[in-house]
Structure 1
Amino acid sequence: MRVLAALSGGVDSAVAAARAVDAGHEVVGVHMALTRHRAQTRSGSRGCCSIEDSSDARWAAEILGIPFYVWDLSEQFEEQVVADFLSEYQAGRTPNPCVRCNERVKFDALLSRALALGFDAVATGHYARLEGGAASGSPGSTEGLRLRRAADAAKDQSYVLAVSGRAGLARALFPLGDAPSKAVVRAEAAARGLPVASKPDSYDICFVADGDTRGFLARSLGVREGNLVTPDGQVLGRHQGYFGFTVGQRRGLGLDRPAPDGRPRYVLGTRPDTNEVVVGPLELLSRSSIEGEALVLLAGPGQLDGARGWDDVTVQVRAHGRPAPARVEVDEAAGRLHVKLAEPLRGLAAGQSVVVYGGQSGDQVLAQATVA
């Protein structure tokens, strides 16, 4: 197959591309330039868009002996990831920009260009396992397609990939899905002579270079002073903008006195229309059900129990959150999920991604939706 390998400049994508070459594919490397601030350097960046990354990606391609190109996708990234991130916070929701990036840039934009140029599939350094589609030599075919957790549970990225949908995943290759650990991948990179073998992992939000998300939101959305209130409306203090707070947050509330019973307070929610942040005791964070919208159904034909959902599955609401047992109903016509949790979860917020796992192995992604 003709495979377009996304080279981020990190060790994972480099080894993934190397494995695609070993598999006999005709591989071309491409680096997606996502930031408009190309002058930033790794020393001042915690994410994956520093200026060194493009150079590291080119170096890896030269060692692998594959053609290499840089695609400027900064406009798409700014409009579809950064702008979405800001508008979601402004609406009082808690978005996951990595989910949006995978959906709209790393798969949608990349795959669209790849197909237009005659490639059969794209390969990335994500940690997840795929069955069917390009992974089985039938790019584009969704028959038997399954997305499963990676062999290395600590690095599993199936949660952020679930939003990609069956059609996109049918054209994807994840060569690192069976890797037992990141240490093994680094050792393989070193053995291949790839200079990124010991390069540190990127973390946090890539477009927030200093890691100060609240500061980024304040600079982008401005300061909007408002009240910190109890659920019944008692004013406890002031804040600089409701969008700087997330559900479940305990630290940084700026309160000068504890609750009457001495227990800590947590953010229970935000009210954009009144610019209020609601705080209260821990027990008020518990939720026993989840409503999801913008449904992405990854389960194949015949995998819906009674054509309406699943009675014994798990759901995950954070990239590295613990799976929670649940019963799930699917309303495919309305594009919604209805989740009944076996045990309450704390800190759920609108805008998060909820992913359903099940199947015979228990680690297959069945569906994804956005918490409404």
Structure 2
Amino acid sequence: MSGGVDSAVAAARAVEAGHDVTGVHLALSKNPQTYRTGARGCCTIEDSRDARRAADVIGIPFYIWDMAERFHEDVVEDFYAEYANGRTPNPCLRCNEKIKFAAVLDRAMALGFDAVATGHYARKGDDGLLRRAVDPGKDQSYVLAVLTPAQLAHSIFPLGDTPKDQVRTEAETRGLAVAQKPDSHDICFIADGDTSGFLKNRLGAKEGEIVDAASGEVLGSHDGSHQFTIGQRHGLGLKRPAADGRPRYVLSITPVDNRVQVGPREALRVDRIRTGRPVWLAPERTGSFDAEVQLRAHGEVYPARVTADGDGLTARLRKPAFGVAAGQALVVYDPDAGDGDAVLASGTIEETGGADEPASADESALSLSGTESTRG
């Protein structure tokens, strides 16, 4: 129970469903005031108090579990390391993977509980597969796609079939004081929302060049390549516009020489995406198959031809994406699976390319034949 409206209503619904429910709030910082301040639904002292009050109203036991050390090692340190290597991580995925559905679930199972219920907006089908929520604007299946089938089997998402406005109305009816509490949107461990400043305080300042990718001309300087991400347009500090007057975007980041390359938006076009070893939530597939892929939480969905070769996934998009960065997650959906979009697999993006790059022999042959195979 984070202290927000979603987890409070999820807990109340779990009780009504007949489960023996215990509320747990995660203390993720040794000093909560160093994380987000104000009542925003995550990581503050006020949030722990809101969660306790909600548990009292629902009538369930309530505990605070100290996960600060594990959270710092697995989420915050990973965040630093990824940016230092020129990648763009999603800390919410890492938190779900390492904390909420690993450390918490492991402890819960050891204590004799059967599952962890959360306020995430996602559904589990009758086949046990993870599916999008009914409310597309709140769907969180993307950030849950790092779960293993075993973790998913012991997870419950009571809100997946309900639009957010109805959840707030239900909270009011139940007498929960958090009914109108604002949602949390920022990174929970960056108190003021200043990601650049947060990284600079840890990784330091180091002057480097901002270079035109086409001409090699030095256009400006910066004090740390870790402050940039692929596709970034604002905050480049360039005093001279491009010759054609169009805006420039970050195209590449090379931490080794601390250089940032910029260029026009069309240079961000991506048609091919390659991931590292995937996590399969559905029975593992090999070969090529048609699917839909999502590259950001609440981002656009792209039809694609996906090839799985054991070591990773290669997605060839039917329409181009722009500004895709290594470190983000690629999540693969089957849009025709039973009662809604089912998550098949996810993988961390390692590299991207353009449509003019030739397909591998495996991709070409399988794409023509349209065959696919599965193995349990």
Considering only aligned residues, what root-mean-square deviation do their CA atoms show, in Å? 1.4
Aligned pairs (5 A) from 1:298-317 = 298-300=281-283, 304=285, 307-311=286-290, 313-317=291-295
Residues 1:149 and 2:125 aligned together: no
Q: In structure 1, list runs of 5 or more residues that go unmatched.
A: 1-6, 133-143
Deviation at 1:113, TM superposition (A): 0.2
Deviation at 1:145, TM superposition (A): 1.9
Residue 60 of structure 1 is matched in structure 2 by 54
Deviation at 1:42, TM superposition (A): 6.5
Cα distance in 1 for residues equivalent to 2:216 and 2:152 = 47
Residues 1:319 and 2:297 aligned together: yes
Cα distance in 1 for residues equivalent to 2:80 and 2:328 = 14
Cα distance change of structure 1 residues 40 and 271 upon mapping to structure 2, 3 Å threshold: closer
Residues 1:273 and 2:267 aligned together: no
State whether residues 45 and 209 of structure 1, in contact with CA within 8 Å, keep that contact through their aligned partners in structure 2: no
Aligned pairs (5 A) from 1:93-104 = 93-104=87-98
Cα distance change of structure 1 residues 213 and 188 upon mapping to structure 2, 3 Å threshold: same
Residue 357 of structure 2 is matched in structure 1 by none
Q: 1:357 aligns with which of 333, 351, 354?
A: 333
Deviation at 1:162, TM superposition (A): 0.5
Cα distance in 2 for residues equivalent to 1:41 and 1:251 = 25
Residues 1:208 and 2:179 aligned together: no
Residue 6 of structure 2 is matched in structure 1 by 12
State whether residues 209 and 220 of structure 2, in contact with CA within 8 Å, keep that contact through their aligned partners in structure 1: yes
Q: Aligned partner of 1:257: which letter?
A: R
Greater Cα shift, 276-285 or 32-41: 32-41
State whether residues 10 and 196 of structure 1, in contact with CA within 8 Å, keep that contact through their aligned partners in structure 2: yes
Deviation at 1:35, TM superposition (A): 1.8
Deviation at 1:36, TM superposition (A): 2.4
Q: 1:284 aligns with which of 262, 267, 271?
A: 267
Q: Aligned partner of 1:32: which letter?
A: L
Cα distance in 1 for residues equivalent to 2:179 and 2:218 = 53
Helix, strand or coil at the partner of 1:342: strand
Deviation at 1:343, TM superposition (A): 1.1
State whether residues 129 and 174 of structure 1, in contact with CA within 8 Å, keep that contact through their aligned partners in structure 2: yes
Helix, strand or coil at the partner of 2:330: strand
Residue 159 of structure 2 is matched in structure 1 by 176
Cα distance in 2 for residues equivalent to 1:49 and 1:16 = 19
State whether residues 42 and 52 of structure 1, in contact with CA within 8 Å, keep that contact through their aligned partners in structure 2: no
Q: Aligned partner of 2:236: which letter?
A: L
Q: 1:185 aligns with which of 138, 146, 167?
A: 167
Deviation at 1:224, TM superposition (A): 1.0
Cα distance change of structure 1 residues 42 and 259 upon mapping to structure 2, 3 Å threshold: closer
Query: Can you list the C-alpha shifts for 1:21-66, whole angstroms capped at 9, x where unaligned?
Result: 0000101111011122223687557561111010011111111111
Q: In structure 2, list runs of 5 or more residues that go unmatched.
A: 351-376
Cα distance change of structure 1 residues 51 and 40 upon mapping to structure 2, 3 Å threshold: farther
Residue 122 of structure 1 is matched in structure 2 by 116
Query: Can you list the C-alpha shifts for 1:180-199, whole angstroms capped at 9, x where unaligned?
Result: x2110011011001111111
Cα distance in 2 for residues equivalent to 1:286 and 1:41 = 36
State whether residues 29 and 35 of structure 2, in contact with CA within 8 Å, keep that contact through their aligned partners in structure 1: no
Cα distance change of structure 1 residues 31 and 119 upon mapping to structure 2, 3 Å threshold: same
State whether residues 36 and 188 of structure 2, in contact with CA within 8 Å, keep that contact through their aligned partners in structure 1: no
State whether residues 225 and 238 of structure 1, in contact with CA within 8 Å, keep that contact through their aligned partners in structure 2: yes
Percentage of pairs with the same residue? 59
Cα distance in 2 for residues equivalent to 1:243 and 1:36 = 26
Cα distance in 2 for residues equivalent to 1:36 and 1:214 = 23
Runs of 4+ in 1 over 4 A off after TM superposition: 40-47
Cα distance in 1 for residues equivalent to 2:112 and 2:137 = 35
Residue 234 of structure 2 is matched in structure 1 by 251
Cα distance in 2 for residues equivalent to 1:253 and 1:244 = 10
* TM-score computed with the length of structure 2 as normaliser: 0.90
State whether residues 40 and 51 of structure 1, in contact with CA within 8 Å, keep that contact through their aligned partners in structure 2: no
Query: Can you list the C-alpha shifts for 1:305-363, whole angstroms capped at 9, x where unaligned?
Result: xx42422x11000001110010001122x2x0010110111000000000011142551
Q: Aligned partner of 2:178: which letter?
A: V
Cα distance change of structure 1 residues 343 and 175 upon mapping to structure 2, 3 Å threshold: same
Cα distance change of structure 1 residues 161 and 191 upon mapping to structure 2, 3 Å threshold: same
State whether residues 133 and 141 of structure 2, in contact with CA within 8 Å, keep that contact through their aligned partners in structure 1: yes
Q: Aligned partner of 1:360: which letter?
A: A
